Amino acid sequence: MHTEAEPLGDVANKLLFENELVRVWEMNLAPGERSDRHRHELPYLLCVLQGSRVDAEVDGRGRVEIPVQPGSVFFVPPGATETAINDSRDHFREILIELKKPGAEAVKLAVANMPETTPR
């Protein structure tokens, strides 16, 4: 269990670009690797380049398993404090684009190009 006093890290591994409108990050996670615990203060686009799954350990909500494929795109509203976890056998790589000047209307999660689910 995490406490509010615990320090937070960056939203991804490497900052690639920043200007007054956007901040662009790269996230690389080897199999079994975890990101720093971080908080998303801005809405963002998550664009998957490599991998089959990424999990998130979200404060107050628990663990979420997210199937992905190269080309999957997520638009995510701000607010979550989380740790990304690569609990697969595949390397995971994404580009994360934070929007520094979001629109005035409430934003909701949206996804595109998700892998088809297979019956269990």
Total structural domains in the chain?
1
Give the Cα separation of 38 and 82 in Å (integer).
Answer: 6
Task: State how far the alpha carbon of 63 is from the alpha carbons of 22, 55, 71, 95, 107, in Å.
Answer: 28, 7, 23, 22, 22
35 within some domain: yes
10 within some domain: no
Answering whether pTM is above 0.85, one says: no
119 within some domain: no
The domain that contains 92 carries what CATH number? 2.60.120.10
96 within some domain: yes
Domain that holds residue 79: 16-112
103 within some domain: yes
50 within some domain: yes
2 within some domain: no
**Residues 46-104: pLDDT tens digits?**
999 999 999 999 999 999 999 999 999 999 999 899 999 999 999 999 999 999 986 66
**Residue with structure tokens 């975890």?**
34
Decide if 80 contacts 51 (C-beta within 8 A): no
**Residues 14-50: pLDDT tens digits?**
999 999 999 999 999 999 999 999 999 999 999 999 9
1 within some domain: no
E strands, 35-72, are 38-39, 44-50, 53-58, 62-67
**Residues 104-119: pLDDT tens digits?**
666 677 888 888 875 5
